[in-house]
Structure 1
Amino acid sequence: MAYEPPTHTVERSIRAITGAKIVAGVDEVGRGAWAGPVTVCAAITGLRRPPAGLTDSKLLSPKRRTELAALLEDWVTCHALGHASPREIDELGMTASLRLAAVRALEGLPVRPDAVILDGKHDYLGRPWQVRTVIKGDRSCVAVAAASVIAKVRRDAMMAELQGEFAPFGFAANAGYPSPVHKAALAEWGPTPHHRLSWSYLDALPQWRHLKRVRVVVAGDELEDGGQLGFDF
């Protein structure tokens, strides 16, 4: 299926309205996983023509994603990644962890953006950053699409590195998301040090339920429970 290529329309609008000269695209991956970090990429692309085939990472095959990420890491003006660990997710909740990872990514850039295009409808970043949220921004905005692909490939690689130590969980294939192999390994072996222990999947595992970490849900933290989120394989 062919998709409309992303454009610089939103970035041009931000530049024209606010006078921003440096605009970063930001996207995340790992929000709906049961194991591993949530990862955010911030990418600055300028207004150059992107590599052919750039789109939302979820619309690309693993092979094409990997090939495109290698091109993008050289093509973008600059990019940086930020992560929030499973322990931080348990302690802070997902919304605050997304912000933590995004700030780490943005502060890892060699230049500070004047404005940020954030994928989705929720501004989890907030002040002092000047944020424009764009639903399906990872499909329509060049910088966000680039961040989407880089974040997905880099996080998948991080999870694949755990395969040798935790082979039954299939992290190389499922990247920490709840696949049948992952669920079966959890039932037999229990959570690894890379699992999020405050999430509802443990409620269905009576033999491991005692490991669940209970935290106070912050009002408005609509991303709190992984059992209610869409999964972004």
Structure 2
Amino acid sequence: MPYEPPTHTVERSLRATTGARTVAGVDEVGRGAWAGPVTVCAAVTGLRRPPEGLTDSKLLTVNRRTALAAELADWVTAFGLGHASPQEIDTLGMTAALRLAAVRALEALPQRPDAVILDGKHDYLGRPWQVRTVIKGDQSCVSVAAASVIAKVHRDAHLAELGARHPEFGFEGNAGYPAPIHRQALEEHGPTEHHRMSWAYLDALPRWRHLRLPAPRGAAARTPEPAGDDGGQLGFF
């Protein structure tokens, strides 16, 4: 299906209205997964012409996304990755864990950005960062689209590594998201140390529901979501 390529419109607007010299696009992946970290990428792209085919990572095939991430690693001015572990998600709740991962990603950049474009309508980052939220920013903003692709490829690679250690869960295919093979493995083997233990999927597993941790105060328990995406350190490995 044809789509409009992302532009630098928001990046230019922030430069013009706030005087920002460095603008970072930020996107996350792994919010709806049962296992693995939530991963955030912060990408600084400048105003150069982006690689052909850049868009939201969810609109790309696996092969195209992987090839594009390799191209972006050399094309972007800088990028940083931040992660919040399943244990941090269980302790803090998803919103606070997202902020933790985003701060880690931004602090991994060689230079603190003057402004941040955050994908979506909710500002989970907050002060002291100067944030502009953009719904579907991963499709419309170059820097956010770049962050989307880099975050997705790095997290998928990490989950594939976990899948080699726990092949019964099919992490290399489902990236820790709800999927039939994932649910079956949970029923038979129970959760691993890579699973989020405060989430409601455990309620549907009679043998293992006693392991469920209480949701953090003020954080809603997560219920099962379909496979797929919503939308630190320098590098993951």
TM over 0.5: same fold? yes
Distance across 1 between alignment mates of 2:69 and 2:222: 27
What amino acid maps onto 2:222 in structure 1? G
What amino acid maps onto 2:130 in structure 1? Q
SS at match of 2:132: strand
Q: Do residues 184 (structure 1) and 180 (structure 2) align?
A: no
Q: Which runs of structure 2 are paired with 1:140-151 in the superposition (5 Å)?
A: 140-151=140-151
Task: Confirm or deny: 8 A CA contact 1:44 1:79 kept in the other structure.
Answer: yes
Distance across 1 between alignment mates of 2:70 and 2:87: 30
Q: Would you identify which runs of 4 or more consecutive aligned residues in structure 1 move more than 6 Å?
A: none
Q: Do residues 136 (structure 1) and 136 (structure 2) align?
A: yes
Task: Confirm or deny: 8 A CA contact 2:37 2:84 kept in the other structure.
Answer: yes
Q: Do residues 204 (structure 1) and 204 (structure 2) align?
A: yes
Distance across 2 between alignment mates of 1:213 and 1:190: 14
What amino acid maps onto 1:180 in structure 2? P
Task: Confirm or deny: 8 A CA contact 2:90 2:216 kept in the other structure.
Answer: no
Distance across 2 between alignment mates of 1:76 and 1:226: 34
Q: CA deviation at 1:226?
A: 3.1
TM-score (norm 2): 0.94
Task: Confirm or deny: 8 A CA contact 1:31 1:226 kept in the other structure.
Answer: no
What amino acid maps onto 2:133 in structure 1? T
Partner of 2:39: 39
Task: Confirm or deny: 8 A CA contact 2:215 2:221 kept in the other structure.
Answer: no
Q: Which runs of structure 2 are paired with 1:148-167 in the superposition (5 Å)?
A: 148-167=148-167
Distance across 2 between alignment mates of 1:230 and 1:5: 27
Partner of 1:67: 67
Match of 2:223 among 222, 227, 230: 227
What amino acid maps onto 1:227 in structure 2? T
Q: Which runs of structure 2 are paired with 1:168-179 in the superposition (5 Å)?
A: 168-179=168-179
SS at match of 2:28: strand
In the alignment of these two chains, the number of paired residues is 229
Q: CA deviation at 1:206?
A: 1.2
Partner of 2:5: 5
SS at match of 1:155: helix
What amino acid maps onto 1:126 in structure 2? G
What amino acid maps onto 1:119 in structure 2? D
TM-score (norm 1): 0.96
Q: CA deviation at 1:163?
A: 1.6
SS at match of 2:87: helix
Task: Confirm or deny: 8 A CA contact 2:179 2:226 kept in the other structure.
Answer: no
Partner of 1:26: 26
Deviations 1:193-219 (A, max 9, x none): 10000000000011101110003431x
SS at match of 2:117: strand
What amino acid maps onto 1:57 in structure 2? S
Deviations 1:131-185 (A, max 9, x none): 0000000000000000000000000000000122101100000000011000000
C-alpha distance 202-126 of structure 1, shift in aligned 2 (>3 A): same
Distance across 2 between alignment mates of 1:178 and 1:230: 6
Deviations 1:112-145 (A, max 9, x none): 0000000000000000000000000000000000
Distance across 1 between alignment mates of 2:8 and 2:2: 19
Distance across 2 between alignment mates of 1:60 and 1:227: 27
Q: Percent identity, aligned pairs only?
A: 73
Q: CA deviation at 1:80?
A: 0.6
Deviations 1:18-73 (A, max 9, x none): 11110000000000000000000000000000000000000000000000000001
Task: Confirm or deny: 8 A CA contact 1:29 1:232 kept in the other structure.
Answer: no
Give the root-mean-square deviation of aligned CA atoms: 1.1
Distance across 1 between alignment mates of 2:225 and 2:27: 16
